[in-house]
Amino acid sequence: MTQSILMVLTSHGAFGTTGRPTGFWLEELTVPLRAFRDAGLAVKLASVRGGRPPIDPASTTATATDADLDALLTGTAPLASVDPADYDAVFLAGGHGTMWDFPDDEPLARLVGAIGRAGVVAAVCHGAAGLLGATTSTGDPLVAGRTVTGFSDAEEALAGATAALPFSLEQRLKALGAVVEVGEPFTPTVRRDGRLLTGQNPASSAGVAAAVIDALVLA
């Protein structure tokens, strides 16, 4: 039976009160999407509100796009309509937009928690904000005691983003009991803790995708 993966994107397009546009980071969608398709996985895209999610304009030159990407983005399903039982894995793509709508989205928290009980949960970069609200079957934070990574405080500072953000992703993960390991800024860094897979930044997209495929093969 073909295994299925749900790729989740932000629906938030404003960078705080700066007036700058943001959204999801294109590379963090397209690189894993190609890898998953090449591995024979069935892939579906969803976003917090459904419909076409915003692309961070700073990321549009980072990678070539797939021929059908426009149609895929136009048709993303709203998270509230997604049944987690339909998927073997969930992949949370990053981009600064996730910092505003991923953490407190109840459908996302339920979906990640449900898939995390038997399947593979993966996040890259700011996509780890989608792990913050997820819990285990006992009600504990999904990340408590787990080794994870995500876009670091050092990287936020180098990107000039710190002051505009609603919180520090690195510190919020630590506050939930996660063991947060970060590498040098903007270098590929992937952490695997059982079926919980995380990557630090856009450069980690391919590595996280490979880890997801490996985890599904071993499942």
pLDDT tens for residues 34-91?
Answer: 999 999 999 999 999 999 999 999 998 656 567 789 999 999 999 999 999 999 999 9
What's the structural domain count of the chain?
A: 1
- CA gap 189, 208 in Å, rounded: 9
Quote the domain boundaries for residue 60: 4-218
- CA gap 163, 168 in Å, rounded: 10
Q: pTM of the prediction?
A: 0.97
In the chain, the largest separation of any two C-alpha atoms, in whole Å, equals 47
Give, as one character, the DSSP assignment of residue 117.
T
Beta bridge pairs of residue 149 = none
- CA gap 125, 204 in Å, rounded: 8
Is 125 one of the catalytic residues?
yes
Beta strands in the chain, from DSSP E residues, in sequence order: 4-9, 42-47, 77-78, 89-92, 120-124, 147-148, 179-180, 190-193, 196-199
Residue in 27, 96, 126, 170 annotated catalytic: 126
Residue in 28, 125, 155, 170 annotated catalytic: 125
Residue 21 has which token pair? 């546009």
What pLDDT, in 10s, does the model give residues 1-31? 799 999 999 999 999 999 999 999 999 999 9
**CATH number, domain at 51?**
3.40.50.880
Residue in 27, 28, 155, 156 annotated catalytic: 156
